[in-house]
Every structure is written in structure tokens, then in C-alpha cells.
Amino acid sequence: MLAVLVSQRDVERLRHEYPRRGLGAVVLDQPLARYMRLVRAVLPEAQRVSVKAVQRIRENFAISFGYNIVAVPIALVGLASPLIAALAMSVSSITVALNALRLK
């Protein structure tokens, strides 16, 4: 545990600021204040990352949906051999995975 030495003047000031809660409240309030500062510092970055993540998810849905719109009718008609269909599906999956990895 980290101990901080304070002057008598500081102790009196703290007693005045925390009259009913006692000096133990200072010990509890300081980590909370540091935590809140950290949250305020990190929150904008977390919001930016979450917006980018949702954007990537939508792009991945669009890629998958586009592939299925094109590939399913071709497979139903019989124009694509199973090998070509498997390769196209692999390319679609790799594209989705690489798109997800772009998130930084």
C-alpha cells in the first residue's frame, strides 16, 4: 500500500473538506478520482473504436450478402462447378477476415 506524508495543515484542510466522513474517505476518494480521470481520457478512444467496429461489421455483412446474392443463383442453375463455388466461398471468407483485421 502506498503511504503519502502530508503536513498538519493538509490534514486540517482535509478534515474541513470531509467533516462527517473522516479522513478514511480521502483514501477512498483519491483512487475513484484517478479512475474517473482515466475513464474520461479513454472514453473518446473507446467510442471511436466501437464506431469503427460497427462499421466493419456492416461492411462484412455487405460482403457476405453480396457474395450470396451472386453465388447462390449461379450454383442453383448449375453454372458453377463445386470447385469454383468452394474457391469463391473461400475468397469471400478471406475477404471478410481481412476486412475485420483492418480495425485498429
Q: Is residue 58 part of a domain?
A: yes
Q: What is the C-alpha separation between 98 and 71, in angstroms, rounded?
A: 20
> Whole domain around residue 60: which residue ranges?
8-101
Domain count, the chain: 1
pLDDT band, very low/low/confident/very high, at 3 (cuts 50, 70, 90): very low
Q: Is residue 1 part of a domain?
A: no
Q: Is residue 61 part of a domain?
A: yes
Q: Is residue 59 part of a domain?
A: yes
Least confident piece of the model among 15-24, 85-94, 95-104? 15-24
For the record, the C-alpha cell of 71 comes out as 453465388
Q: Is residue 3 part of a domain?
A: no
pTM for this predicted structure: 0.55
- DSSP code of 18? S
pLDDT of 72 reads 85
Q: Is residue 2 part of a domain?
A: no
Taking Cα atoms as reference points, which of 3, 6, 23 lies closest to residue 14? 23
